[in-house]
Structure 1
Amino acid sequence: MGKSILMIVGDFGEDYEIMVPFQALQMVGHDVHAVCPEREAGETVKTAIHDFRGDQTYLEERGHDFELNATMADVDPADYDALVVPGGRAPEYLRTHEPVLDAVRHFFEEDKPVAAVCHGPQILAAAGVLDGYDITAYPAVRAEVEAAGCSWVDGVTTDRNLVTGQAWPDHPEWLAQFMDLLGDEVSHGEPVAAADD
């Protein structure tokens, strides 16, 4: 049975970290509402594509216009079963919006599944919910999330209700672990080829 999932996004969030989970979770039957503070359903946020080419940090290029399908001001977190927090540059300003932090706190207070990737844990740190967790994030924000009270793990990890990944290359395992928390049946082995007809 599909779950109701809230996804908090903003301008210059990472394109793959918004689009891929938004579509993949819908594909398996979940109802995903993407919201942004001070924007309404039908409006868009601009995404960015972050690529890793061997430089000291990532390269950022313009992504897509991603259409919101719900209005944050109308959202009651109690109506949702789970939360997704993508990364990119959006978390650095999304964490300054009290309604965003209040929504995040609800999911932790109620022990609901949360998936955060890349810079998304910056929002969790600002909400004060990371104390005692084992998590990962984009390595450049390690000091920030550790200062919020968590322990650092290299690689995708699940600790209680929270699944974290370092960046979009982690999608297969990050989404699989999140879907496990949602109660979806997920194969973690080698892909199974279709039988010849």
Structure 2
Amino acid sequence: MGGKKILMICGDFTEDYETMVPFQALLAVGHTVHAICPGKAAGQQIATAIHDFEGDQTYSERGHNFTLNATFAETKVESYDALVIPGGRAPEYLRLDANVIAMVRHFFDAGKPVAAICHGAQLLSAAGVLKGRTCSAYPACRFDVELAGGHYADIPVDQAVTDGNLVSAPAWPAHPAWIGQFLTVLGTEIRHSKPLTRSAA
């Protein structure tokens, strides 16, 4: 079976690691990933934020640019097999966009795989798709999950949780668990064999 077609909804000051790492990792194992942002087209860029945990009362942030490879206005969610929602600052304002909310709801209504991390839960909460669902998120988003009727999964920052088609995690330290569980939900199999070696001349 071929790779899946995956949609990633981004915005300015999306979390850098939570955007670039899954984007590249999913491409590396043979999936197609289209990164979109409201009001922007393929080839345009968004600013990212690199959130780190350095002992301050909240995370620190700095970042660089990420190039989108698909156009928001041309996106047909029905053609996608799965959805990825990065965290960072973007979900806070993306949830105000009715088109984004409709996109998120499509994946849940259709039972398609969804991966959300960190502040991505803000989009899930606004879309009304968390009732009765278990969802992890950055601890500051606990109330978003619970007020939306979801069960907040209070797990270590490097862990992830799967509830049916939804895979979620607190923040980027969970990438191995989060991406690994998402690949399982996608039906992706990774097999290990002996490494290729150069034959003797």
> d(CA) in 2 for partners of 1:195 and 1:25?
23
How does the TM-score come out when normalised to structure 1?
0.93
Assess if the C-alpha contact under 8 Å between 2:18 and 2:172 holds in 1: yes
Instruction: Give the number of equivalent residue pairs.
Output: 193
> What do the CA deviations read for 1:168-188 (whole angstroms, capped 9, x no partner)?
00000000000001111258x
Q: Hey, what does 1:42 align to over in structure 2?
A: 43
How does the TM-score come out when normalised to structure 2?
0.92
> What do the CA deviations read for 1:142-169 (whole angstroms, capped 9, x no partner)?
0111100100112310001100000000
> d(CA) in 1 for partners of 2:163 and 2:39?
32
Q: Which runs of 4+ in 1 moved over 4 A?
A: 191-197
> d(CA) in 2 for partners of 1:165 and 1:7?
16
Match status 1:183 vs 2:175: no
> d(CA) in 1 for partners of 2:197 and 2:75?
47
Aligned with 1:172 (options 157, 172, 176): 176
User: Which residues of 2 match residues 109-124 of structure 1 at below 5 A?
Assistant: 109-124=109-124
Amino acid at match of 1:120: G
Between Structure 1 and Structure 2, whose CA radius of gyration is higher? 2
> d(CA) in 1 for partners of 2:87 and 2:5?
21
Identity of aligned residues (%): 59
Amino acid at match of 1:100: V
> d(CA) in 1 for partners of 2:89 and 2:4?
27
Q: 1:28–1:195: structure 2 CA closer, same or farther, 3 Å change rule? A: closer
Assess if the C-alpha contact under 8 Å between 1:176 and 1:186 holds in 2: no
Assess if the C-alpha contact under 8 Å between 2:94 and 2:123 holds in 1: yes
Q: Hey, what does 2:23 align to over in structure 1?
A: 22
Assess if the C-alpha contact under 8 Å between 1:179 and 1:186 holds in 2: no
- Give 3-state SS (helix, strand or coil) of 1:7's partner: strand
> d(CA) in 2 for partners of 1:148 and 1:186?
35
Match status 1:135 vs 2:147: no
> What do the CA deviations read for 1:69-100 (whole angstroms, capped 9, x no partner)?
11111111100000000000000011000110
> d(CA) in 1 for partners of 2:193 and 2:28?
19
> d(CA) in 1 for partners of 2:17 and 2:10?
12
Assess if the C-alpha contact under 8 Å between 1:10 and 1:94 holds in 2: yes
> d(CA) in 1 for partners of 2:161 and 2:56?
26
> d(CA) in 2 for partners of 1:119 and 1:193?
40
**Which sections of structure 1, spanning at least 5 residues, go unmatched?**
none
> d(CA) in 1 for partners of 2:196 and 2:44?
44
User: Which residues of 2 match residues 141-180 of structure 1 at below 5 A?
Assistant: 141-155=141-155, 156-180=160-184
Assess if the C-alpha contact under 8 Å between 2:121 and 2:144 holds in 1: no
